[in-house]
Structure 1
Amino acid sequence: MSQTLHPMLNTAVKAARTAGALINRASLDIERVTVTAKSHNDFVTEVDQAAEAAIIETLLGAYPGHGILAEETGRTHGAKDSDYLWIIDPLDGTTNFIHGFPVYAVSIALAFRGQIQQAVVYDPSRNDLFYASKGRGAFLNDKRLRVSKRSRLLESLIGTGFPFRKGDNFKRYLKMFEEVMQHCAGLRRPGAAALDLCYVAAGWYDGFFETGLNPWDIAAGSLIITEAGGLIGNFTGESDFLYQREIVAGNPKIYAQLVSILAPYTRIIKDDDAGATAPAAGAAAAAPDATAAFVASVEADTPPAATAKKPPVRIRKTDLAKAKDNDAPF
């Protein structure tokens, strides 16, 4: 790479490429991959678990005093009281992966006291690396990213994600879908939110919205978008989105137009999902330690199946060695 990366970002890149090599190797023989249902339409594979273990090993090997929040193992690894928190989705788009549909990614973000500082989203099937450091811009491989310049929603391509978990309010989503669809040029739903956010940063989408997402789906992509000149927030346009389970993003003009459409559907001001809402937006602000408040809010709003400790997956040393050998120099 022509630019010098922050050491923590460089470590995240190595972790993402290691996980990506494991995923690519498994994709060559999908039929042999063991698939388990965490809940209705929510799957985990041995590849998710092996990739997550490889990422955590790489990150904690370099920064043993840091905390970890990962999709498959929650907070069981790393320090519990560190100001630094790695937020990991080892395989975003698992359903695509198990069907051989090549839209999935590794997502790794580093938060310092609740603020995302480093971000990597790696698309292993295309060998595309999206990354950003706070204040230093966002990139796809060697190319600097900038959000699109479209100013009219009627001319815009918007990304979204369908609600798929048991308990998601599908009727609420259909109302949003219908309204946005009538005001834009087209809607797309590839099925991997981490990549969707990067597509906004690259200008391929002009905007994006989704409900029901977890922090590990959006943490890395959120920094990549803002470093590319875009905006991201909850449906009312506030920056308190990581644990609100609703997100809207876009270039500044399209973002504003999407917020005006989606604001009435927010869980904060219109509770359509009784008993399933996220913690109040003020909860994090009231706590003295932003990182602790952030993690506590995430864990309070995470379904048990997503954070339950799973049996350890054995990664053969030969596989891990091969993955590291395949890690392109960066």
Structure 2
Amino acid sequence: MTNPESMEEGECWAECLDVAVRIARTAGQLVQEAVKQEKSVSSKSTPTDLVTEADQQVEDLIISTLRERFPSHRFIGEESSAAGEKCVLTDNPTWIIDPIDGTCNFVHSFPMVAVSIGFAVKKELEFGVIYHCFDGTLYTARRGHGAFCNGVRLQVSKEKDMSKALILTEIGAKRDPNTLDIFLGNMKKLLSAPVHGVRIIGSSTLALCHIASGAAEAYYQYGLHCWDIAAAAVIIREAGGCVIDTTGGPLDLMSRRVVAAGSQEIADYVVQQLQPISYGRDDHDP
């Protein structure tokens, strides 16, 4: 077996991507089986922030397999972070993992569930792999090498007219009256633009993949996590789109907020409409 520590950097990351694809498929098959079984469900930060035994089992599978193959690498995982591990992105090669994105969908067997594996080096996102567990669709991208869906190159929508845009978002875990008022107010502003429509599908990573594929023009959310964004950000950028902060500045992976779009014009318009919702940061202690 090749020793990844002795390889050229680019060659090493290509091999890491190949390993990530294999693990994502294996994890996705585990999710496919788990969705048919009785589920043990509990909540984390709020009653709507769900977790199942399958989330933890899938994350354990992914991290243990990767750690055996790449023992010097670091890991940020959704369930590890929920269990108290610090969520810190260093310069070291780091895997950023969401074992089941769309846990509420998974609990209800609603078919929008994904495994997401991102990879960063020196705090720069290098590649992303997202596997749609219900239909087997595989999204992949590596920085500088393009984005693909089942091997077919992806291209974002180049629509610049907001009145012709389809917008995607997610509600977030906070459902207090003030947060809901801001969330609904943001949606009202966009619907009044007007836009063609707003959609909520319950999986941040798959919604972002729809931006990469050109099926929708923009996505915004407050309250998602670095593991919801990492893999998808590479895929969107390599498909020709932009991924930025809700302030209009560069993406901050730990900020728990994002705007992604096929065109800069659409992204800028969305940014201008949004009233912020505060969720803190992933890299700060709760």
Amino acid corresponding to residue 58 of structure 1 in structure 2: T
Contact kept, 8 Å, 1:109 with 1:220, in 2: the verdict is: yes
Preserved CA contact (<8 Å) 1:130 1:139: yes
Q: Are residue 48 (structure 1) and residue 92 (structure 2) matched? A: no
Q: Which residue in the other structure is 1:300 paired with?
A: 284
Partner of 2:161: 152
**1:214-293 equivalence runs, <5 A:** 214-252=225-263, 253-262=265-274, 265-266=275-276, 273=278, 277-278=280-281
Which residue, out of 98, 111, 115, partners 1:102? 111
Provide the secondary structure at the position in 1 that maps to 2:17.
helix
State how far apart, in whole Å, the 2-side matches of 1:150 and 1:10 are.
33
Q: Which amino acid aligns with 2:230?
A: A
Question: Is the 2:222–2:276 contact (alpha carbons within 8 Å) kept by the matching residues of 1?
Answer: no
> Shift of residue 221 of structure 1?
0.6
Distance, in Å, in 1 between the alignment partners of 2:89 and 2:180 is 36
Higher relative contact order (CA 8 A, sep 6+): 1
CA displacement at 1:236 relative to structure 2: 1.9
CA RMSD of aligned residues (A): 2.2
Hey, what does 1:321 align to over in structure 2?
A: none
Aligned-partner Cα distance in 1 for 2:89–2:226? 17
Partner amino acid for 1:189?
I
The DSSP-based 3-state class of the residue aligned with 1:72 is helix
Paired residue for 1:66? 73
Q: CA deviation at 1:81?
A: 6.7
Deviation at 1:64, TM superposition (A): 0.7
- In the alignment, the residues of structure 1 paired with residue 71 and residue 174 of structure 2 have an alpha-carbon distance, to the nearest angstrom, of 34
Residue 35 (structure 1) aligned with residue 79 (structure 2): no
TM-score (ref. length: structure 2): 0.88
Residue identity in the other structure for 1:16? A
2:96 counterpart (87, 94, 103): 87
| Alpha-carbon distance between aligned partners in 2 of 1:163 and 1:257, rounded to the nearest angstrom | 21
Residue of structure 1 in register with 2:204 after alignment: 193
User: 1 CA distance for matches of 2:89 and 2:205?
Assistant: 25
Instruction: Give the letter aligned to residue 54 of structure 2.
Output: V
1:23 to 19, 27, 31: 31
CA contact (8 A) 2:251 2:258 kept: no
Residue 13 of structure 1 aligns with which residue? 21
1:92/1:217 contact within 8 Å kept: yes
Instruction: Give deviations 1:32-91, integer Å, cap 9, x for gaps.
Output: 1211111310111111111101111221121111000000012859x9976111100000
Q: 1:129, CA displacement in angstroms?
A: 0.4
Q: Distance in 2 between matches of 1:179 and 1:23?
A: 37
SS, match of residue 54 in structure 2: helix
Q: Matched residues in 1 for 2:190 and 2:160: separation?
A: 15
Whether contact under 8 Å (2:225, 2:254) holds in the other structure is yes
Number of residue equivalences? 268
Separation in 2 of the partners of 1:96 and 1:16?
A: 18
Gaps of 5+ in 2: 1-10
Matched residue type, 2:49: D
Aligned to 1:290: none
What letter matches 2:114 in structure 1?
A
What percentage of residue pairs aligned between the two structures are identical? 35
Code of the aligned partner of 1:173: F
> Deviation per CA, 1:2-54, whole angstroms, max 9, x where unpaired?
xx99111111111111110110011222xx12111113101111111111011
Deviations 1:172-223 (A, max 9, x none): 1111110011121100000100111110000001111111111011111111
Given that 1:89 and 1:108 are in contact with CA atoms closer than 8 Å, whether structure 2 keeps it comes out as yes
Unaligned runs of 5+ in 1: 268-272, 279-297, 304-330
Aligned to 1:123: 132
Instruction: Flag the 1:225–1:35 CA change in 2: closer, same or farther, 3 A.
Output: same
SS of the residue corresponding to residue 80 of structure 2 reads coil
